[in-house]
Chains A and B, each alone.
Chain A
Amino acid sequence: MLKQCEGSHAVAATVALCRPEVICAYPISPQTHIVEGLSEMVRDGTLQHCEFINVESEFAAMSVAIGASAAGARSYTATASQGLLFMAEAVWNASGLGLPIVMTLANRSIGAPINIWNDHTDAMSMRDAGWLQLFAENNQEAADLHIQAFRLAEELSLPIMVCMDGFILTHAYEGVDIPTQEQVDAYLPPYEPRQVLDPREPVSIGAMVGPEAFTEVRYLAHAKQMQALDRIPQLAAEFRQQFGRDSGGLIRTYRLEDAQTVVVALGSVLGTIKDTIDDLREAGHKIGVLGITSFRPFPTAAIGDAVSHVERVVVVEKCFAVGVGGIVSRDVRTAMREHPHPIYAVVAGLGGRAITKASLRQLFLSAMADELEALTFLDLDHQAVNRELERERLTRRSGPIAENLLRDLGVVAARVG
């Protein structure tokens, strides 16, 4: 049933259809309405056989999910930004223990400076935590990915983060087709845990593993994620068959057939990029798009195949690794070992900065002319950063960087937060 609704509500409604049994919630700012929606459904009886637990921290939220999942319950939580970092230890633990928890990550930046807006810094901080990370392009896909995530997570006994852009998707009203309970039930079987805490068959979970077996445990975690590279396209295909639409998969290409230049990105920015590409195509440029849906496991082979014919790659990423540069672009490079074309890393949209078609168009034109630096910060205010660098060079006590920049830009500090 097509509904005009907020992204958060679409996800809440869809998660509810997945029959979660334990939901834990901590409202760290930035908050979304997902758990609020679920809380209401549990309270009013729409969502039955589900425990909704208000916990005291994100760390506890993931920990409750760990306990619940280990005891055989389909467990769900949602977080973002600082919250993800506060639960970081438990995030690693959940994957290490092989617990199929599904978590929505409403992608936001990470402070300081404190910033509540969208980028992918939070997700990238946990990219090596052993979770699968699926990125949604729009609210429909965000909702659909949860259905697939529960099935995949439980099949593999590994946790999955469904990443959707904070604000841009979570707070955006779009038409979303919310499936029926029957449809979801047909696609998603009840949770059959691989291991469970049960007095009928006691086991000890979470042993201390020393050098004699730790490498093997880590290898097995990797091997399981590699299995997902096969299962994700299959599940997407099955999903298409049952729900009649494309959602999920490893990667999504757009106008890539004869492209000489390919733009790679994750998440909602793909929409703006596609619009820009449409314009450039009309102007005769051979440029296409590759969206990565499964960032973990990283679809190295799929990407390699998809871009084998292109001459250059532009990776637009909402994150970067301070001191090195692009994050996604480095992974893309590994996919292109066979094709040593230039790869341009473009850091864009940090802390919620709008990524405009105009800026992208200019960027892609430069890229196609091979005039880009290896690492570009889209729309960077060079004047502002240079002023600050100069200030720091001249004065020992140069003051707080963020406040200085805001003052330089004429933004009143008090309005932030």
Chain B
Amino acid sequence: MEKPFAITLDVGSSLANKTGSWRTYRPRYGDRLPPCNNACPAGENIQGWLYHAESGDYEQAWRVLTQDNPMPAVMGRVCYHPCESKCNRGELDQSVGINSVERFLGDQAIKLGWKFAPPATASGKRVLVVGAGPSGLSAAYHLARLGHQVTIHEAGPLAGGMMRFGIPKYRLPRDVLEAEVQRILDLGVTLELNTKVENIEASMQAGGFDAAFLAVGAHIAKRAYIPAGGAAKLLDAMQVLRGMEDEEKPMLGRRVVVYGGGNTALDVARTAKRLGATDAIIVYRRTREKMPAHDFEVEEALQEGILIKWLSTIKNMSDEGTLTVERMELDATGFPQPTGEFETLEADSLVLALGQDVDLSLLNGVPGLEVEGGVVQVGPNMMTGRPGIFAGGDMVPSERTVTVGIGHGKKAARNIDAWLRGEVYTPAPKHELATFEKLNTWYYEDAPKTVQPTLDLIRRQSSFDEVVGGLNETNALFEARRCLSCGNCFECDNCYGVCPDNAVIKLGPGMRFEFNFDYCKGCGICSAECPCGAITMVPENA
């Protein structure tokens, strides 16, 4: 139509007015580091895989997860999930059940037979991995995916290391473990069992290996000097737990006393209960608060009827199995001090669960190695003092958990890969942490954590059936969707919606958003209203 001058205007003409020139601050999308990812010893991109689980794409979630950790079914059972302790949702209601979702994904993968994609190219390099525990398997997996040819030498008869010989079945069913080990082997990893490496350099030379990763673990039980009669039945925790994998189960008797306060002590006591002990008693020299074992394990043990004698040390054991126990008292620094008050306990067997040492014999004669406190010293790249020999897991200084071991394996593999190419592996810089204050939690609906089913008590006391059940698809989805996606855009469209100037461009599913700086006035609403804290306002000239 022929429009009257000036008073009637064509639609859309305001696009000529570039209001972006008003801006003094500009929004910037930047993924912040979610606290769960930051806390994961295996370096999992937890928020990243939950993102896919939220949409019900479990396979994709599993694939993202296994970029860092090849054993989610195991991990979903045995990891002490430090991620959940750091989860921002904990400040809102309860932390996300990351571990239970991980287990669901792992189980789903086993059930549906998901496989790892084989490496695109072969490097032609050969790497020897010593030890088929969590660390070794993890390293083997990552090295294989990077195209290297990997051979594992395992001293024991079965793969799994502490996952098999240290963790009871009721916590980790063996079929789960075997399925996840097999999937790694299916990548082309060679596993040689009952092959103890006596001398690492000799083995490397003999096999023509370009590099080695040592992860022999810590299997030698620490002993405490307890005067005991010759007939007294005195065992160590490793013997008991390893013995559980044999045809002949250990004979512990009806009254079993376990000495120690770590998770292993609990595992032994709970195992004893399942083997038919009427009394399974843990003797520990300090209090529950000071106990290194995880509280949920203590709780489960107590539910199952395990007794714990706090503030007690064992002085001796008679032939008849009478234990003399001294009551302790914590001093001002929280250290237990003897009181001189004694009592007795009757036991058919005493199991010492006082920690393990590493068998370092394979390193004899290797130049440049540094051993301190019974463990091998490694650099930040996991390499020992001997170039080309890397080490990880329980044999290097660290917290001794499966998850840490798996993390070591990944880290070592990446460094080995770089080293083989004559390069130095530099991890991507870490983003700024997405702390709780960075979130706008108004947008999250209240939703308490899903409680995982547990086995009934009678069966827990009498069988080695798995205690903690998995999530089903419905509640796994629920749990995944409780994720706040801290610091990482999850396409909630808030920025796109709240911009008064339509200056946020939505790029479509999975492609996130862009700012239209022609019109963005820099008001900052997008940043203030981003639920997950993924938008930062920065000075315009920065």
Residues of A near any B CB (own CB < 8 A): 96-98, 157, 194-196, 201-207, 209, 213-214, 216-217, 220
Contact = CB atoms under 8 A, between A and B. Distances in A.
Interface string B1-16: 1111111111100000
A204 B6 CA distance: 10
Interface in B1-51: 1-11
A195 B6 contact: no
16 contacts: A97-B4, A194-B4, A195-B1, A195-B3, A201-B1, A202-B11, A203-B9, A203-B11, A204-B8, A204-B10, A205-B7, A205-B8, A206-B7, A209-B6, A216-B5, A217-B7
B470 to A, nearest CB: 56
A217 B1 CA distance: 18
Interface string B448-466: 0000000000000000000
A97 B3 CA distance: 11
A203 B7 contact: no
B17 to A, nearest CB: 13
Given A195-B1, A196-B1, A203-B1, A209 B11 contact: no
B161 to A, nearest CB: 72
B7 A98 contact: yes
A206 B5 CA distance: 11
A213 B1 contact: no
Interface in B495-540: none
Given A194-B1, A195-B1, A196-B1, A207 B8 contact: yes
Given A97-B4, A195-B8, A220-B5, 19 more contacts: A96-B7, A97-B7, A98-B4, A157-B4, A194-B2, A195-B1, A196-B1, A203-B1, A203-B3, A203-B8, A204-B11, A205-B7, A205-B8, A206-B8, A207-B8, A209-B7, A213-B5, A214-B6, A220-B4
Contacts of A207: 6-9
Contacts of B2: 194
A47 B179 CA distance: 87
Classify chain B: how many residues form its interface, as a range: 10 to 19
B231 to A, nearest CB: 100
Nearest to B2: A194
Contacts of B5: 213, 216-217, 220
Contact of B6 (A157, A196, A203, A217): A217
Interface of B: 1-11
Nearest to A203: B8
Contacts of B6: 207, 209, 213-214, 216-217
Contacts of B4: 97-98, 157, 194-195, 220
B149 to A, nearest CB: 68
Contacts of A203: 1, 3, 8-11
A87 to B, nearest CB: 20
A205 B5 CA distance: 10
A217 B7 CA distance: 8
A204 B9 contact: yes
A214 B6 CA distance: 8
A194 B7 CA distance: 13
A69 to B, nearest CB: 13
A318 to B, nearest CB: 34
A209 B8 CA distance: 10
Nearest to A206: B7
The 5 nearest A-B residue pairs measured at CB = A213-B6, A204-B9, A209-B6, A202-B11, A205-B8
Contacts of B10: 203-204
Nearest to B13: A204
A242 B6 CA distance: 38
By CB atoms of chain A within 10 A, which of B1, B4, B8, B11 has the most?
B4
A91 B6 CA distance: 19
B13 to A, nearest CB: 8
A396 B431 CA distance: 86
A97 B9 CA distance: 12
Contacts of A214: 6
A98 B5 CA distance: 10
Nearest to A97: B7
Contacts of A209: 6-7
Contacts of A194: 1-2, 4
A46 B397 CA distance: 101
Contacts of A220: 4-5
B381 to A, nearest CB: 65
Contacts of B7: 96-98, 205-207, 209, 217
A216 B7 CA distance: 11
A341 to B, nearest CB: 40
A196 B4 CA distance: 11
A261 B7 CA distance: 46
Contacts of B1: 194-196, 201, 203
Nearest to A214: B6
By CB atoms of chain A within 10 A, which of B1, B8, B10 has the most?
B8
A276 B465 CA distance: 125
Contacts of A217: 5-7
B518 to A, nearest CB: 21
A203 B1 CA distance: 9
A57 B3 CA distance: 31
B438 to A, nearest CB: 41
B195 to A, nearest CB: 80
A196 B1 CA distance: 9
Contacts of A216: 5-6
A98 B7 CA distance: 9
